[in-house]
Amino acid sequence: MSIVFFDFETGGVHENRPNIQLAAIAVDCKWNELATFEQKIQFDESAADPEALRINHYDPEVWKRDAKPSSQVAASFATFLKPYCCVEKISKRGTPYYVARLAGHNAASFDGPRLRRMFEECGMFLPAEMFIRDTLQRALWWFYERGSEPKNLRLTGLAEHFGIPADGAHDALADVRLSIAITRAMSQASVSEVAA
C-alpha cells in the first residue's frame, strides 16, 4: 500500500489567490520514498499577495522558465498518481477502478479543495480518494491523547517539537518532506509507547 503526500504553495491563503507550486512524494508503508513530483504553476502575479510570494520563495525568473499552465500540471500530476492508485472503488455502473490515497498537512481543508478545484476547472478526473489523511488533524489527536501541546501546529512548529530540521519550509517539496517526517515521528513514538 502506498500513500501520496502533497502540498500546494499559493499566492495567499484566501481561496481566490492562485496556486503557484504543487509537489508530492509517494511513500510505501515503511515511509520509503518511491517517487517525487514538483511543478511550478503559471499564475497572474497581480492576483497574488506579495507577502505570500515572498514567503513562498517566488522568483519571477524561475517561474518564467519553469512554470506550466494549470491544465498541464494537472495532467502531469494525474500521470504521477497512476502507479500509486491502490484504493479500489466501484463506479455507478458497477465497474471497479483504482485511485490514490492522499495525505498532507492541513490538506483536508486547504490543499485538497484546491486540488479538486484545479482538476474541475481543467475538466479532468482526479484519480485520488476524496478523503485525505491530514497530518494537522493527526497531530491534534496525538498531542491531545498525551495531554501536551506543541509550540504550534504549523509544520515548522511540529518539526521543532520532534527535532526535525525545517530547512526550506514554504517550498512545496520541502513541506511535503516535513509532513512525511512528522507523520513518521508520531508513528514511531506511538509504537515505542506501546512497546514500553
Look at residues 149, 77, 162 and name the one whose alpha carbon lies nearest to residue 114.
77
Q: Print pLDDT tens along the chain (196 aa).
A: 899 999 999 999 999 999 999 999 999 999 999 999 999 999 999 999 999 999 998 999 999 999 999 999 999 999 999 999 999 999 999 999 999 999 999 999 999 999 999 999 999 999 999 999 999 999 999 999 999 888 899 999 999 999 999 887 779 999 999 999 999 999 988 777 766 5
**What gap in Å lies between CA 137 and CA 19, rounded to an integer?**
23
**What gap in Å lies between CA 196 and CA 188, rounded to an integer?**
12
* 4 sits in which H/E element: strand 3-10
Residues for the chain: how many in total? 196
**What gap in Å lies between CA 23 and CA 172, rounded to an integer?**
5
Query: pLDDT value at position 194?
Result: 62
Q: Which amino acid is at 136?
A: L
Which residue(s) pair with 24 in the sheet?
A: 6, 37
Which residue(s) pair with 90 in the sheet?
A: 96
Distances (CA, A) of 179 to 33, 138, 150: 13, 11, 15
Under DSSP, the state recorded for 145 is H
Q: Is 160 in a helix, a strand, or coil?
A: helix
Query: pLDDT value at position 169?
Result: 72
3-195 has which fold?
Nucleotidyltransferase; domain 5 (3.30.420)
Q: Find all residues with CB under 8 Å of 165, minimum gap 6, and list them.
A: 159
Whether pTM > 0.85 for this model: the answer is: yes
**What gap in Å lies between CA 140 and CA 193, rounded to an integer?**
18
| Exposure letters 117-138 (e unless 16+ CB within 10 A, then b) | ebbeebeeebbbbeebbbbbbb
Please classify residue 72 by burial: count the beta carbons closer than 10 Å to its beta carbon, then call 0-12 exposed, 13-18 middle and 19+ buried: middle
